[in-house]
Amino acid sequence: HNHLADLPEAICELVTLEKIECGDNRVRSVPSAVSKLTRLALLSLKNNNLRRLPEALGKCAALKSLSLNANDLVALPESLCNLQNLKRLTLAANKLQSLPWSMGEMGALKTLDFSSNPLIRLPPSLGLLIDTLEKIDLFECTDLRDPPAPIIDAGHGRMMV
């Protein structure tokens, strides 16, 4: 609750940083220099004013948890799919209508939360994650059409609709 309007670029010089929690502020952007944070494991920017993310975020290879709930995101960079260690991705209450098509290549994902987004389609590649995903939350995604068959076949044990 510091009323930060931007994530300070100077924070990206702290190359040994492992966790950033800047929720409940007014952050509008993430600096491209975020790619310098090679040890960053957790990034939480929930309840801010983010409209987009830099492609450079896809270079934060150590990232395991990315929480971006309650922002104004309308799209995600394709580079996000390079985060091969990401286990938890929460994007509830944004303005996302679609997701990167190669999202199914993020083999470490265990939890996905897309709830309360105007999603129209899920990438077919998400079906590739069905053996590793523990939870996918699509609650209040009322515009969603034709989810990938493996996601539907997994049933309500892991999927919340």
Tell me the per-residue pLDDT of 43-74, one tens digit each, with 9 for 90 and over: 999 999 999 999 999 999 999 999 999 999 99
Question: Which range, of 2-16, 26-40, 84-98, averages the lowest pLDDT?
Answer: 2-16
User: In the structure encoding, which two tokens stand for residue 125, read together?
Assistant: 């590649």
Q: 133 in helix, strand or coil?
A: coil
Q: Which strands form 65-67's sheet, in the order they lie side by side?
A: 19-21, 42-44, 65-67, 88-90, 111-113, 135-137, 159-160
* Confidence (pTM): 0.92
**What is the model's pLDDT at position 152?**
66
Q: Which of the pair, 142 or 39, is modelled with greater confidence?
A: 39
